[in-house]
């Protein structure tokens, strides 16, 4: 068998044939589901009359084929594993086909499959070709009419996109429902759900006064876990109306929760399908973080109705057109609904850990890739999160008013069309008059740009010279990088006044907080009339997705931590200060020198704990040390043990020096109010729990007692899970074992809570973790076929830095074993799971060798195109 080949953006051709209307009938059965299709097809005006009709189709058993109801003999078409080709078709005709598929044995979870006995679909990106023969590409858009036939007892509920228009009973205990979706859509937005589902119903009156029925469909035992998702949906609908002027366009909007799902959720028209982990919440089973995540994902999928569905992508290279824009929209929504600075801090710290790592590794790719083998490998942090940062920069460059006018133009002009990133940016350029030519490089150039900045204050002339130099590192396949257009939001903070100084640049007065535009490789900005020596506050609010280097002293950082007017940069200054101390400790650990805690970090933390920061959620973030993964990203060669030891040392030193302050903070933020996921309560809980983390860092009697009491009080999952994690991650088995056992027994019936139980124990730093993972893979609550379980157990283990990177290489072997198993069961999940192994270049020689050895072992298998593409890149 030959290796899978890439497709190229530059090879794009418009489709020769359009499908204008699609009629489908599903006769459901786990082993043999019969799918009948009737497609109304028209040749494109510019296509050659001789152009063959080529349809995608995989894992389909063809039963019959006809054109305009005349059966086609086998000689009239060519069929292979991937496609069906018919020559000499008329300019307009109907194509009738019948195929058989087997949803009961579909473990890849693409196309039609079963989850907990219920039927559901996942068609993005190229899953529809596993359902019927079709031009499976997003620039083919049709109206759909779908009839679902199922067993009246096991599938009382039969759902598809749009509105129900007919239903009835059939022979043999079967029944049917027919659905019509009047909005033309690409087949990746098709959805079908059938099973024994129960609904929670609400409604929303749109801004033009239409009453929309909202339905959330779940298994019976989850009916009490739907309230938050429904409330989030209504908030999202209202937000899109007043922020973007966008209204919902059907009479019915449905969300379904399924247990087996490859990703978070899917925006199928009128029928969103959700991973149950991304929709179900209850104070006793879900943490604050889950509540916030659910709100964000519900909003994200809803927002796709305009940014993705009404206006869709011409081809999959444009994926970030819908994903980057929609992530930006959901981030703004969450910022408006919760604490805006905390939302930004959390998003950026995740971004700088995970996306930076991706952009620096062998799978680095631009926000718009120019080739791929397997598109499901490109649902990445770069497409989603960096894509969102690029849209955010556009918004900052234009200002909200022009950005909104650009979005209006985009939605109105391209409604019902499949378009490109140029179309989107073109609208922004058209309404604003801005020149976005150079800006477009953000879409084509991979790698994280780095800015080396330096500044000099001239007392005599009261000027400040700020020099910025940019460079983008080489990434696979891209050696020559051009300078980008980088918006740098900044201020100069006066060291005498502690205030932002008025900025004058080349004679122009710019206020106290401004955006300067870096376009060249190197530029010097000369600020005049600078009354006092300043410390520059650069890249405020993370105004561009870059790494900024400035030779700040620890005194500068302590100063910014207190005086910067930008909350985000105050947090950033604290992180930079902690990083300087951590760097010293990492070096001390490696050199076998005694570790000494930097008193300036202790002082900074004391100031934070006793000072006047009103936003408790921001304060909690500021008290949180950079994660081991974040610290690793800052090191030239990752020394996992030194990083772990250094971070633990800081945590314990702070805990000892500031014990009274942490205790006071803990006590001041305990509350027995009944649980609500409100920003105020969430802020208070996160502050209390970070204080508890420090109190438990030294494991003395008082800290342990507080932690055990919090666990036993069983007030809400946020507090219980946090306390349980601290107990399980402590060195004391007498704390860890009974708590884990009690929790595991209490929640044995709830798969989402058991996922947390798995994750907590395989994230502990103690050296017994590998054996635990092996043991837990045999646990009745684990299943290798369920992506949530794989992520919770094996994925979480691979994030456990000290244990995954054991020097005997057993962590790598375990991961490779699971990847090899999943390569045949679920290639999409297998390909994602390899990620930690692809980062081998970042480690010492011995670990490099061990990691590569496992990649080589995987490569010897007969591989899915998904795993093949990732492993090839990793070993290139």
Residues contributing to the site for Zn ion (CB under 5 A) = 323, 326
Catalytic, out of 23, 124, 295, 301: 301
621 part of the active site: no
| Closest to Zn ion by CB, 243 or 785 | 243
For 67, the enclosing helix (H) or strand (E) is strand 61-67
| Closest to Zn ion by CB, 268 or 854 | 268
Q: Supply the minimum distance, in Å, between the C-beta of residue 307 and Zn ion.
A: 9
Q: Supply the minimum distance, in Å, between the C-beta of residue 516 and Zn ion.
A: 33
| Closest to Zn ion by CB, 292 or 326 | 326
Measured CA to CA, the distance from residue 100 to residue 130 in angstroms comes to 10
Residues paired with residue 96 on neighbouring β-strands, in sequence order: 38, 66
Crossing angle (nearest 10°) for helices 599-610 and 567-591 = 150
Q: Supply the minimum distance, in Å, between the C-beta of residue 245 and Zn ion.
A: 21
Measured CA to CA, the distance from residue 798 to residue 762 in angstroms comes to 9
| Closest to Zn ion by CB, 326 or 826 | 326
What would the two tokens of residue 819 be?
């990847």
Q: Supply the minimum distance, in Å, between the C-beta of residue 520 and Zn ion.
A: 35
Q: Supply the minimum distance, in Å, between the C-beta of residue 354 and Zn ion.
A: 17
| Closest to Zn ion by CB, 144 or 302 | 302
Q: How many residues does the chain have?
A: 876
Kindly give the pairing relationship between strand 157-160 and strand 142-151: unpaired
By the 8 A CB rule, do 66 and 72 touch?
Answer: yes
* Residue that has been written with the tokens 């939302």 in this structure: 343
CA neighbor of 432 nearest in space, from 409, 464, 415: 409
Report CA-CA distances (Å) from 678 to 62, 67, 183, 295, 507: 54, 58, 37, 12, 47
| Closest to Zn ion by CB, 323 or 541 | 323
| Closest to Zn ion by CB, 321 or 561 | 321
What would the two tokens of residue 829 be?
């999940």
Q: Supply the minimum distance, in Å, between the C-beta of residue 339 and Zn ion.
A: 24
| Closest to Zn ion by CB, 323 or 358 | 323
What would the two tokens of residue 240 be?
């899109």
Angle, CA 541 vertex, CA 540 and CA 542 arms, to 5°: 85
Which residues have a Cβ under 8 Å from the Cβ of 190 and sit 6 or more positions away? 121, 123, 128, 131, 144, 146, 160, 161, 268
Contacts 24+ apart (CB under 8 A), 768-777: 769/797, 769/800, 769/803, 770/797, 770/803, 770/806, 770/810, 770/811, 770/814, 773/797, 773/814, 774/814
What would the two tokens of residue 723 be?
């306390």
| Closest to Zn ion by CB, 290 or 326 | 326
For 145, the enclosing helix (H) or strand (E) is strand 142-151
Q: Supply the minimum distance, in Å, between the C-beta of residue 300 and Zn ion.
A: 6
The CA dihedral of 815, 816, 819, 821, to the nearest 10 degrees, is -110
Q: Supply the minimum distance, in Å, between the C-beta of residue 216 and Zn ion.
A: 19
Q: Supply the minimum distance, in Å, between the C-beta of residue 330 and Zn ion.
A: 8
Measured CA to CA, the distance from residue 109 to residue 726 in angstroms comes to 35
Phi and psi at residue 584, in whole multiples of 5°?
A: -60, -45
- DSSP SS3 for 600: helix
Active site residues: 301
């Amino acid at each position: 068998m030959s290796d899978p080949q890439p497709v190229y953006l530059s090879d794009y051709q418009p489709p020769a044939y359009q499908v204008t209307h699609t009629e489908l009938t599903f006769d459901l059965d786990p082993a043999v589901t019969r799918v009948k299709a009737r497609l109304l097809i028209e040749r494109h005006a510019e296509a050659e009359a001789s152009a063959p009709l080529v349809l995608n189709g995989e894992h389909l058993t063809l039963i019959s084929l006809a054109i305009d109801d005349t059966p086609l003999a086998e000689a009239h078409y060519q069929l292979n594993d991937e496609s069906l080709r018919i020559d000499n078709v008329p300019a307009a005709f109907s194509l009738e086909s019948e195929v058989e598929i087997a949803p009961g044995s579909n473990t890849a979870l693409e196309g039609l499959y079963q989850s907990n006995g219920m039927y559901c679909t996942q068609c993005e990106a190229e899953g529809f070709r596993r359902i019927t023969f079709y031009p499976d590409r997003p620039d083919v858009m049709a109206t759909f009419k779908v009839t679902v036939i199922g067993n009246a007892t096991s599938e009382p509920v039969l759902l598809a996109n749009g509105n129900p228009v007919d239903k009835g009973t059939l022979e043999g205990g079967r029944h049917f429902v027919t659905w019509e979706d009047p909005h033309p859509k690409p087949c990746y937005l098709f959805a079908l759900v059938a099973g024994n589902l129960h609904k929670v119903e609400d409604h929303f009156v749109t801004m033009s006064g239409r009453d929309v029925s909202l339905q959330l469909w779940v298994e019976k035992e989850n009916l009490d876990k739907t309230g938050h998702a429904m409330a989030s949906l209504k908030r999202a609908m209202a937000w899109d109306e007043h922020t973007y002027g966008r209204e919902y366009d059907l009479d019915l909007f449905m969300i379904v929760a399924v247990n087996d799902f490859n990703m978070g959720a899917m925006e199928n028209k009128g029928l969103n399908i959700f991973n149950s982990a991304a929709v179900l919440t209850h104070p006793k089973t879900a943490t604050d973080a889950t509540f916030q995540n659910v709100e964000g994902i519900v909003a994200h999928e809803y927002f796709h109705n305009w940014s993705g569905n009404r206006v869709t992508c011409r081809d999959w290279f444009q994926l970030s057109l819908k994903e980057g824009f929609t992530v930006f929209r959901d981030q703004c929504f969450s910022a408006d609904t919760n604490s805006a600075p905390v939302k930004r801090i959390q998003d950026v710290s995740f971004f700088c850990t995970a996306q930076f790592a991706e952009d620096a590794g062998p799978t680095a790719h631009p926000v718009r890739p120019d080739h791929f083998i397997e598109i499901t490998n490109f649902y990445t942090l770069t497409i989603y999160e960096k894509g969102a940062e690029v849209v955010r920069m556009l918004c900052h460059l234009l200002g909200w008013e022009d950005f909104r006018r650009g979005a209006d133009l985009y939605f109105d002009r391209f409604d019902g069309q499949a378009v490109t990133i140029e179309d989107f940016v073109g609208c922004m350029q058209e309404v604003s008059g801005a020149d976005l030519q150079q800006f477009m490089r953000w879409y084509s150039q991979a790698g994280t740009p780095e800015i080396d900045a330096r500044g000099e204050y001239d007392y005599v002339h009261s000027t400040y010279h700020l020099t910025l130099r940019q460079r983008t590192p080489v990434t696979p396949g891209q050696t020559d990088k051009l300078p980008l257009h980088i918006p740098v939001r900044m201020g100069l903070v006066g060291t005498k006044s502690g205030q932002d100084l008025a900025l004058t640049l080349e004679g122009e007065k710019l206020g106290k907080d401004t955006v300067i535009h870096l376009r060249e490789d190197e530029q010097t900005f000369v600020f005049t009339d600078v009354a006092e020596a300043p410390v520059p506050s650069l890249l405020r609010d993370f105004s561009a997705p870059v790494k900024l280097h400035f030779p700040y002293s620890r005194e500068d950082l302590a100063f910014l931590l207190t005086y910067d007017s930008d909350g985000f940069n105050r947090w950033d200054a604290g992180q930079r200060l902690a990083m300087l101390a951590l760097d010293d400790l990492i070096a001390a650990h490696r050199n076998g020198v005694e570790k000494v805690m930097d008193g300036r970090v202790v002082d900074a933390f004391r100031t934070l704990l006793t000072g006047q920061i009103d936003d408790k959620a921001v304060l909690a973030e500021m008290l949180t040390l950079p994660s081991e993964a974040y610290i690793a990203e800052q090191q030239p060669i990752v020394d996992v043990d030194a990083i772990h030891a250094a971070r633990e040392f800081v945590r314990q030193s702070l805990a000892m020096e500031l014990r009274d302050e942490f205790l006071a903070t803990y006590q001041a933020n305990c509350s027995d109010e009944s649980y609500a996921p409100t920003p105020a309560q969430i802020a208070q809980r996160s502050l209390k729990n970070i204080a508890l983390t420090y109190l438990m860092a030294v494991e003395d009697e008082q800290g342990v007692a507080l932690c055990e009491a919090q666990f036993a009080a069983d007030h809400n999952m946020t507090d219980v899970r946090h306390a349980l994690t601290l107990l399980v991650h402590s060195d004391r088995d007498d704390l860890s074992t009974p708590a884990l056992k009690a929790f595991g027994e209490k929640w044995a019936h709830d798969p989402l809570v058991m996922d947390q139980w798995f994750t907590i124990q395989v994230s502990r730093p103690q050296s017994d973790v590998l054996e635990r993972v092996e043991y837990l893979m045999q646990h009745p609550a684990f299943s290798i076929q369920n992506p949530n379980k794989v992520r919770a157990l094996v994925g979480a283990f691979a994030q456990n830095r000290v244990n995954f990177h054991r020097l005997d290489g057993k962590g790598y072997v375990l991961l490779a074993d699971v990847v090899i198993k999943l390569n045949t069961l679920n290639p999409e999940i297998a390909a994602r799971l390899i990620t930690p192994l692809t980062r081998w270049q970042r480690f010492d020689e011995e670990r490099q060798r061990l990691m590569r050895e496992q990649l080589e072992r995987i490569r010897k298998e007969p591989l899915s195109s998904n795993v093949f593409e990732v492993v090839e890149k990793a070993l290139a």
